[in-house]
């Protein structure tokens, strides 16, 4: 009974895809390359905004402007330095030269066009769920993770220069509704580098990593393959250059790597403790992983071996309340968002070594999450 609307919607999406590809190409082919930039989401409950910075030759940041998303930030109950308790609240769709920003307080997603260092708001769309906290894209598909009411994921397609909701891609997660939201609402949605799987972390609610297969149109499987890791609080994910899935576990302050099988099952490849407090966020560049430790004010440097094994390399100090981080596309710099003071710390990356370059206070960004380096 449920296959008919799914196939009709998938067919419609497929029919739109060809035209969308032509239109999207026309819209992006003449776009000027984006110069070195950093974008930071402040998650302000009175009006969400993205702060734009140009990256200087010495690694420091120069403010370019602040751009309203047209939506509201939000704060999960119990959160302090991490109001959305998530990773991926701000994401780059580099193929379309857009930023995607969630607005948890208004249940919407904003699309902002990147022009040089500056931004222009192009559209705001409903996410089809309560309190969106994470967004990711792959090809012409965009997926949003909604955190409240048991959690859900919603899907969209680029049609020309617009995002169009695909109702048949909506998936309810049916997670327990927690009393302590910030430790139990889902943490991130991400697509594997090969575009074949969609990954969701559930944090303490079920302590699971959910993997949905994606078909050729981008539609998620009807149900995920769940890998439960009791007591660990799987929070955020990243992928290294070899495509291994790296997961940060907040409850046990550790990082594990996995191989993702075609059927969505996970095989553990490596595991290492950070020895820090609240290891929640993670970023990857090549074979280097950087995990953020909110309770310690540090990032942990971890190297991934050829087979996915992990080696702890030590920690680097940040400002208090370490949350999201982002490598530059070439991996030469790292920018770390810290929620206690709303500061972004910059580091030069030399192999597996981080050297501080300076810090920038982002106005109104205490507790904010979401950072992109372009």
Closest CA to 137 of 108, 117, 111: 111
Mean pLDDT within 46-54: 99
Instruction: Quote the pLDDT of residue 179.
Output: 78
pLDDT reading at 12 higher than 80: no
> What pLDDT score does 20 carry?
40
Convert the pLDDT of each residue in 275-332 to its tens digit.
Answer: 999 999 999 999 999 999 999 999 999 999 999 999 999 999 999 999 999 999 999 9
Task: Give me the phi and psi of 153, to 5 degrees please.
Answer: -120, 140
| Predicted pLDDT of residue 7 | 37
Neighbours of 263 (CB within 10 A): 10
- Of 179, 96, 79, nearest in space to 133 by CA: 79
pLDDT category of residue 32 using cuts at 50, 70 and 90: confident
Q: Is the pLDDT of residue 223 over 80?
A: yes
The pLDDT assigned to 180 comes to 86
pLDDT band per the 50, 70, 90 thresholds, residue 25? very low
Over residues 227-232, mean pLDDT: 98
Cβ atoms of residues 82 and 294 within 8 Å: yes
Q: Please list, in sequence order, all residues whose beta carbon lies within 8 angstroms of the beta carbon of residue 302, skipping any fewer than 6 positions away.
A: 255, 272, 274, 288, 289, 290, 291, 310, 311, 312, 313
Taking the C-alpha atoms of residue 89 and residue 100, their distance in angstroms, rounded to an integer, is 8
pLDDT in tens, 52-78: 999 999 989 999 999 999 999 999 999
The pLDDT, as a whole number, for residue 90 is 99
Query: Does residue 263 register a pLDDT over 70?
Result: yes
* Res 275: pLDDT: 99
Q: What is the pLDDT of residue 166?
A: 99
Q: Once rounded to an integer, what is the mean pLDDT over residues 240-256?
A: 98
DSSP bridge partners of 146: 132, 152
pLDDT at 6: 34
Quote the mean pLDDT of the chain.
93
Q: What is the pLDDT of residues 147-189, one digit of tens each?
A: 999 999 999 999 999 999 999 999 999 999 987 899 999 999 9
Q: Considering the entire predicted model, what is its pTM?
A: 0.92
Run of H or E including 51: strand 49-55
**CA dist list (Å): 273 to 247, 279, 357:** 12, 9, 27
Angle at 188 between CA 347 and CA 236, to 5 degrees: 50
Q: What is the pLDDT of residue 41?
A: 99
Range in 142-146, 178-182, 337-341 the model is least confident about: 178-182
The domains found in the chain, sorted by start residue, are 3-373 (2.130.10.10)
The phi, psi pair for 15, rounded to 5°, reads: -65, -35
For residues 4-20, average pLDDT: 38
Q: State mean pLDDT over 207-229.
A: 99
Helix (H) / strand (E) containing 354: strand 353-361
Q: What is the DSSP string of 129-148?
A: SSSEEEEEEETTEEEEEE-S
- Of 124, 150, 162, the closest CA to residue 23 belongs to 162
106-124 tens-digit pLDDT: 999 999 999 999 999 999 9
- Is the pLDDT score of 26 beyond 80? no
Spatial distance between the Cα atoms of 108 and 219, rounded to a whole number of angstroms: 21
């Amino acid at each position: 009974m449920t296959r008919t609307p799914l196939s009709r919607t998938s067919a419609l999406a497929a029919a739109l895809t060809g035209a969308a590809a032509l239109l999207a190409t026309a819209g992006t082919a003449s776009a000027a390359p984006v110069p070195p930039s950093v974008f930071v989401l402040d998650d302000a409950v009175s009006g969400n905004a993205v702060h734009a910075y140009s990256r200087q030759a010495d690694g420091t940041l120069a403010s370019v402007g602040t751009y309203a998303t047209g939506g509201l930030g939000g704060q999960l109950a119990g959160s302090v330095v991490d109001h959305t308790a998530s990773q991926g609240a701000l994401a780059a769709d580099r193929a379309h030269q857009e930023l995607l920003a969630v607005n948890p307080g208004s249940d919407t997603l904003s699309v902002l066009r990147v022009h040089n260092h500056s931004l222009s708001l192009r559209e705001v769309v409903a996410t089809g769920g309560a309190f969106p906290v994470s967004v990711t894209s792959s090809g012409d598909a965009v997926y949003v993770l909604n955190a409240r009411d048991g959690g859900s994921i919603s899907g969209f397609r680029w049609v020309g220069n617009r995002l169009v909701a695909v109702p048949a891609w909506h998936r309810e997660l049916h997670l327990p509704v927690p009393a302590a939201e910030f430790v139990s609402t889902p943490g991130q949605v991400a697509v594997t580098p090969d575009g074949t799987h969609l990954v969701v972390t559930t944090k303490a609610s079920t302590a699971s990593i959910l993997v949905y297969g994606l078909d050729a149109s981008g539609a998620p499987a009807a149900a995920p393959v769940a890998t439960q890791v009791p007591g660990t609080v799987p929070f955020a994910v990243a992928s290294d250059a070899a495509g291994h899935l790296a997961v940060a576990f907040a409850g046990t302050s550790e990082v594990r790597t996995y191989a993702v099988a075609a059927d969505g099952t996970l095989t553990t490849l490596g595991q290492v403790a950070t020895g820090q407090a609240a290891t929640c966020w993670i970023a990857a560049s090549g074979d280097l992983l950087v995990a953020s430790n909110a309770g310690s004010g540090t990032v942990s440097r971890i190297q991934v071996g050829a087979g996915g094994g992990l080696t702890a390399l030590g920690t680097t100090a940040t400002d208090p309340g370490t949350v999201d981080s982002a490598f530059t596309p070439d991996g030469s710099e790292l920018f770390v968002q810290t929620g206690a003071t709303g500061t972004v710390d910059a580091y030069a990356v030399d192999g597996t070594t981080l050297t501080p370059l300076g810090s920038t206070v982002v106005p109104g960004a205490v507790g904010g999450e979401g950072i992109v380096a372009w």
